[in-house]
Amino acid sequence: MSIEVRDLNYIYNAGMPGETVALRDVSFDVCDGETLGIIGHTGSGKSTLLQHLNGLIKPASGEIIVNGQCITDGKTKMTEVRRKVGLVFQYPEYQLFEETVAKDVAFGPKNLGMEEEEIEEKVRNAVGLVGLDYEEIKDMSPFELSGGMKRRVAIAGVIAMGPEILILDEPTAGLDPSAHRDILAMGRRIHDEMGIILIFVSHNMADIAMLSDKVIVMSEGTIALSGTPKEVFSQRERLEVMGLALPPAREITELIKSKAPAFKSDAITIDEAAEDIKTYLEEARG
Amino acid sequence: MIRDITLGQYYPGDSAVHRLDARTKIIATLLYIIELFVVNNFWGFLIAAAALFAVIAVSRVPLKFIFRGLTAVFLIIAFTFVLNLFMVEGRVLWHWKFLTITYEGVHRAFFMAVRLVLLIIGSSVMTLTTKPVELTDGLEKLLKPFSKIGLPSHEIALMMTIALRFIPTLMEETDKIIKAQQARGADFESGNLLQRAKSLIPILVPLFVSSFRIAQDLALAMEARCYRGGGGRTRMNEIKFRRGDAVAAVLMVLFLAVIIASRFITL
Ligand SMILES: Nc1ncnc2c1ncn2[C@@H]1O[C@H](COP(=O)(O)OP(=O)(O)OP(=O)(O)O)[C@@H](O)[C@H]1O
Ligand SMILES: [Mg+2]
């Protein structure tokens, strides 16, 4: 399983007033079981990029190759692409429409033409994976759920389609801390249990540091930086120029470094930072 | 696609047409539409079309934009054309089974189609060159005299402002919902009529829910800023008649005279 993106370009409203170059020569790849985090200022083209990955937008130029198969040559069947690449939009809770949660989650699998029993099983699994109790909520109306639960139901709707690549656009935006934590834990669980490629956008640097194996930083439609989270988050100045910041754990270790030059750390998560600080204190005590 | 509907869309610019008072443009457009029905021969339409294209040239709105508005109503025009072609009685030109085309029918069909096309282009020129806010302001001012007889002119204008303001928002919302459902494998293009109608449900339900949410948010935001209706409100940008408007008025009168005269051309 892999996804490769080569020299992608896209322009909104080409040749009209309000023309916006949304993507400029974007290239990257993600391999088996990896998690890719995407960060970038608002309007930097993240959502536009994600919509290319399952064929919702046709690029002006460039190609996208999923599992060795080019999906931008115009020959590939789109339902095939959408089965492989599951995309969950920003604020997905606004796309719920069915009378019951079970029916809504079954919408995707049904569109793919799965059998009745297979659908039932996929729906049950998906609802479980997003951390909800299937028996309890299957007959509820999706509109009576809380915001965080609605979002999980919407994500389950895509997971039930059995994607090999799951893409989440700002899955934690606008949630309270506990719902935020749940969604993150869910992301990790889905990735680990289903062994799929996970691609997600977030404005929360701590989430990016914790979840991703690779990070790309978008700025004005281009990839300005990419690498492992540690590589990316060691470029503080460049990130700040693009209106981005370091994860809180890194902010703190940088601050300590500036006051205590002997302190060494390249931590980006709170756990790593705590570990480094402990080591430093133990050494200092001798 | 859905974005091709130019109705109520503004094309930013700074031409003489853009700078005209919205009231002038509204009156001119109404007058033009009436004049289109005064015209009764080829020469009249030629003059009307020439005048319209002169205005478009001055406005510097690309023709491509103006014609985009037409594609959305093409079906209506085609329908009236066909209807007129077969329904008008008179001297028979062509006959086949129950279908008859008359000389008068051809005449009427062509004129009606040209009329509709010019009418739509004319009104799109107005909306393309006038900011929606100015348009509704102008309308409110024009309707003001009628508020004496109980016409809620401010409320009508406000409703129009809101409607125009939210056309792009709702289109964006629709676009987003369509894409989200497509990502879930929804197919809006194949199947018979019933299946296609059914496939709209996943779009319409979320769209309704969103519209109500947007409307409620807007009502709250307006109330939070103490909106209490039209009484005693002043404006940030008062609209004023300028020299250009006087020139436009003179041109309008001249044009009216020419159009009326065109009825008597016999060549
Ligand atoms: N449907 C559209 N029509 C026209 N322009 C658009 C459209 N969608 C996005 N854009 C423009 O394309 C650029 C990239 O937008 P995009 O939504 O991809 O940004 P983003 O990185 O996802 O931002 P955010 O963090 O706010 O979600 C922006 O300048 C935006 O204004
Ligand atoms: Mg976005």
Nearest CA to ligand 1 atom 5: A12
What's the pLDDT score for residue B206?
A: 94
For the cut 90, the answer to whether the pLDDT of residue B24 exceeds it is yes
**Interval A50-64 mean pLDDT:** 93
Question: Which residues have a beta carbon within 5 Å of ligand 2, which is an ion?
Answer: A 47
For the cut 70, the answer to whether the pLDDT of residue B3 exceeds it is no
Residue of A nearest to B187 (CA): A111
Cβ of residue A46 lying under 6 Å from some atom of ligand 1: yes
Cβ of residue A202 lying under 6 Å from some atom of ligand 1: no
**Interval A125-143 mean pLDDT:** 93
Nearest CA to ligand 1 atom 28: A43
For the cut 70, the answer to whether the pLDDT of residue B8 exceeds it is no
Contact A215, A208 (CB under 8 A): yes
Least confident of A28-37, A198-207, B21-30, B239-248: B239-248
Q: Rounded to an integer, what distance in angstroms lies between the CA atom of residue B258 and that of residue B24? A: 19
What's the pLDDT score for residue B7?
A: 53
**Interval B162-187 mean pLDDT:** 88
**Interval B33-38 mean pLDDT:** 92
Cβ of residue A83 lying under 6 Å from some atom of ligand 1: no
Question: Whole-number mean pLDDT of chain B?
Answer: 86
pLDDT digit string (tens) for A12-45? 988 777 789 999 999 999 998 899 999 999 999 9
What's the pLDDT score for residue B2?
A: 46
Q: Rounded to an integer, what distance in angstroms lies between the CA atom of residue B121 and that of residue B252? A: 17
**Per-residue three-class SS string for chain B:** CHHHCCCCCCCCCCCHHHHCCHHHHHHHHHHHHHHHHHCCCHHHHHHHHHHHHHHHHHHCCCHHHHHHHHHHHHHHHHHHHHHHHHHCCCCEEEEECCEEEEHHHHHHHHHHHHHHHHHHHHHHHHHHHCCHHHHHHHHHHHHHHHHHHCCCHHHHHHHHHHHHHHHHHHHHHHHHHHHHHHHCCCCCCCCCHHHHHHCCHHHHHHHHHHHHHHHHHHHHHHHHCCCCCCCCCCCCCCCCCCHHHHHHHHHHHHHHHHHHHHCCCCC
Pairing of strands A165-169, A20-31: unpaired
**Interval A208-233 mean pLDDT:** 95
Amino acid (one-letter) located at B210: S
Amino acid (one-letter) located at A264: K
How many angstroms away from the CA of A155 is the closest CA of chain B?
10
Q: Where in chain A is the domain with CATH 3.40.50.300?
A: 2-234
Pairing of strands A69-70, A85-88: unpaired
Percentage of chain B lying above the pLDDT 90 cut: 36
pLDDT digit string (tens) for B89-128? 777 777 777 778 888 888 888 998 999 999 999 988 998 8
Q: How confident is the model at residue A205 (pLDDT cuts 50, 70, 90)?
A: very high
Buried b (16+ CB within 10 A) or exposed e, A17-40: eeeeebbeebebebeeebbbbbbb
What's the pLDDT score for residue A8?
A: 95
pLDDT digit string (tens) for B48-79? 999 999 999 999 998 888 887 787 788 888 88
Cβ within 8 Å of B, A 58-97: 79, 82-83, 86-89, 92, 94-97
Cβ of residue A42 lying under 6 Å from some atom of ligand 1: yes
For the cut 70, the answer to whether the pLDDT of residue B142 exceeds it is yes
DSSP codes of every residue in chain A: -EEEEEEEEEEETTTSTT-EEEEEEEEEEEETT-EEEEEE-TTSSHHHHHHHHTTSS--SEEEEEETTEESSSS-S-HHHHHHHEEEE-SSGGGG--SSSHHHHHHHHHHHTT--HHHHHHHHHHHHHHTT--HHHHTTS-GGGS-HHHHHHHHHHHHHTT--SEEEEESTTTT--HHHHHHHHHHHHHHHHHHT-EEEEE-S-HHHHHHH-SEEEEEETTEEEEEE-HHHHTT-HHHHHHTT----HHHHHHHHHHHH-TT------SHHHHHHHHHHHHHHHH-
Contact B21, B248 (CB under 8 A): no
Q: How confident is the model at residue B1 (pLDDT cuts 50, 70, 90)?
A: very low
What's the pLDDT score for residue A286?
A: 76
Q: Rounded to an integer, what distance in angstroms lies between the CA atom of residue A47 and that of residue A108? A: 21
* pTM across the whole model: 0.80
Nearest CA to ligand 1 atom 7: A12
ipTM: 0.88
CATH class assigned to A2-234 = alpha beta
What's the pLDDT score for residue A76?
A: 84
**Interval B15-41 mean pLDDT:** 92
- Please give the distance, rounded to the nearest whole angstrom, from the Cα atom of residue B262 to the centre of ligand 1: 52
